[in-house]
Structure 1
Amino acid sequence: MKSLLTLLALLALLAMAVVANPTIGEAAPGFTLKDLAGKQHKLADYRGKLTVVAFLSAKCPISNAYNERIRALAADYAQRDVTFLALNASADETVNEIKTHADKQGFAFPILKDKDNRVADAYGAVRTPEMFVVDGAGVLRYHGRIDNSHLMIHVKTHDLRNALDELLAGKAVSVAETKALGCIIKRAQQAHHFSAPTGRGMTAQGVSLWGYGEAIRQALKGRNNDAGITPLQGLRTMTRVSQGYASLHPGLYSVAPLGQRDSREISDDLIVSLDGAIYPEVAVVPQRKPAAKRPAGRPAAKAPTKPLPKIGLIKPANFPALRDSWKGQVVVLNLWATWCAPCVAEMPEFVKLHNEYKDKGVKIVAISADDVTDANTLVARFVRDKGLPFEIGVMDTDDPQLMIDQINKEWPGTLPSTFVYDRTGKLIYSRFKIIDRAELVNAVEGALK
């Protein structure tokens, strides 16, 4: 009898064991983190009440689009004994930046810094915003989005609010998992590997530094007598990209150690790294060139303006037919947005891939998550000004989850994301973050065989 009781006790413990990447109905991973004032918070301290674990960002445009709604949700449900814990796991956001943002937004709930991504990894959180609801027994009951659209004008379903209302009423959550578009949570990394120059730039873990070749060679030269021609292990770099578009303007950047420039001068710049992480030893920063003097009396010449391209709209229900139309070709599909800095930073790689493989039966298609009303204005100008030579479309839906499910049910909605289809239309490769060029080229080459 005693052995049976011991066995039952062990089985009960196993049933409640915390697992990484928990699914609905499993125990949520516990954690202990400090808030911005240094106070320690344990998830276990909130047992007995509903707790919303919200992965947010101070810089992500999608996360920031929800600031007002998150503030209202936290205030509304605080009166019903629901706790909101905001976690910031982005490696490129400092405590001071997060605090400044929180103060500006009037956030009254605790904001915890997950500086080494351990909690994000344990929960399987990959984007911002991303929400988890833990019940009073420590069990995960909801995972996903706040509502169906970051644009208030398109909001139709209040998924997080519905989940909380059902749980407070003692009911099971009717829609316990949802998906949404969001920014990648930038993970901290320990080392970086540089290889020899290729073309106009160099590669770092397979991601091209297109347009940064000379700048990076200068950075490497200070650390290696071979001027970076041989692989150099352990050098950590980042690119500080003004307005997220600097990677498309080769030759305008020089290398300067961080700390030698006035931080106020570049405080409005977006930080973009090669693989979604930040490497704070060397910065590639704007180098202002003096404007060429125009002879007196001569009017400034106006460059001819190219017409805006027509951007196609793609409804989720029409995506299968679009995919079928690709059969007979190898297709690289990129999901991006003009407001997504890593998307913009990697776009030159797709231009390069297009130029290398356009005569070999490879088609590049880029579908933007920008609002449909911006298709023939903001998106069209971006395509024209950056000279993107491949097919561009814009999602035509109020609910991105519909498009996510049509493209790939395993896609968590992170931007950028890239997929490769072979000539039969079969999906053979997917990556839910900034591209790894070597991986992508291998996938394309494999599909061509």
Structure 2
Amino acid sequence: MFDNLSDKLDKAMHVLKGHGQITEVNVAETLKEIRRALVDADVNYKIAKDFTNTVKEKALGQDVLTALKPGQLMTKLVKDELTELMGGEAEGINLSGNPSVILMSGLQGSGKTTFSGKLANFLKNKKTKKPLLVACDVYRPAAIDQLHVVGDQIGVEVFSNKEEKDPVKISEAAIAHAKANGFNAVIIDTAGRLAVDQAMMNEIAAIHEAIKPQETLFVVDSMTGQDAVNTAKAFNDVLNFDGVILTKLDGDTRGGAALSIKTVVDKPIKFIGTGEKMEAIDVFYPSRMADRILGMGDVVSLVERAQEQFDEEEARKLQKKIAKNQFGFDDFLKQIQQIKKMGNMKDLIGMIPGAGKALKGLDIDDDAFKGIEAIIHSMTPDERTQPSIINSSRKKRISKGSGTSVQEVNQLLKQFNQMSKMMKMMQGGGGAKMMQMMNQMR
């Protein structure tokens, strides 16, 4: 996410991080490189210029040149200004009303239908909302079928009527259905076009006028850069929408849409899509995103994702198993599944301060656990619960069944034993003992 922009900003700030004498000349040069990095990221030139001018004024006002740590102070100023550029504070969606009606808008191919499903899943997991998805794309039967597939995947009902060709009537019928059947959130997926046209605008405006949604969201493909910003402006002129959804932010995006859209339409980015999975949805926090762009990681979001997957009852059961030395490969597999639900591995690693830069160039994908899962699935139930019974002949059978080598099976068993010992040590007062052992290993 924003890899190219992060690299260029890091190089621009390099001179102010203790490398060379700090002067007004190289501060100006640094800001020039920052402006160039923003323009390369597809940020509008005027926005980029205003950004660096503001940073320069604040830098001179805070005596960056004579500060004890000028590089750190400049990084903070850039971070604060990036945060403001992207909206300042995070803004949630309006879920008032019974039901809460959320109207989704955007071009075809922006990821609108998929994101409607992600949002429904997000609300469902909050336990306070029972969402209903509504298929209002009357032009593409495949879009209706796609929404049904998404609904089945997340266990959310989809309201549709392929015989009706008026999206206003479908919307109104869906809201009546929701009221009659206990749904308290209605997410309406509307038709998209390949480009902005008058017929499309008239239709979405008519739906908006008829149902008066609590929240109107504009979904945009962040990989389209400045075009995304221009499209957002065209939609906002007609709909006066409440917020922006940026999809495909995990792709090879330059970041221009995320950095420019708030300035152009004066509407907050409310959510971002960070992958293909239904769980790959994040509330947009400008400050956290600024941290990530500047290579500072995002530990708060990482912890929040972990907490979302945390099950107290399962944790208690696991604790008992560890205490009794009964932690097995089935338990290990559950832990892997929970990690995978948190999001794609590259995104998660990018949240750890410094890890993104340290692992730059490494191809980290969602198949990182594939070999481990294959080995565990090739074990018998007894082998999973009692790894100590796995002898040489069993190792050969497991490696053959998983398509891996005996060495890989041995490596997993060794790592599993080390992890089991460490987890056992952490029980009770073992933490101090473990620290003592680590100190002796230095």
TM-score normalised over the length of structure 1:
0.26
Answer 1 or 2: higher relative contact order, Cα 8 Å, separation at least 6.
2
Name the one with the larger helix percent.
2
TM-score normalised over the length of structure 2:
0.26
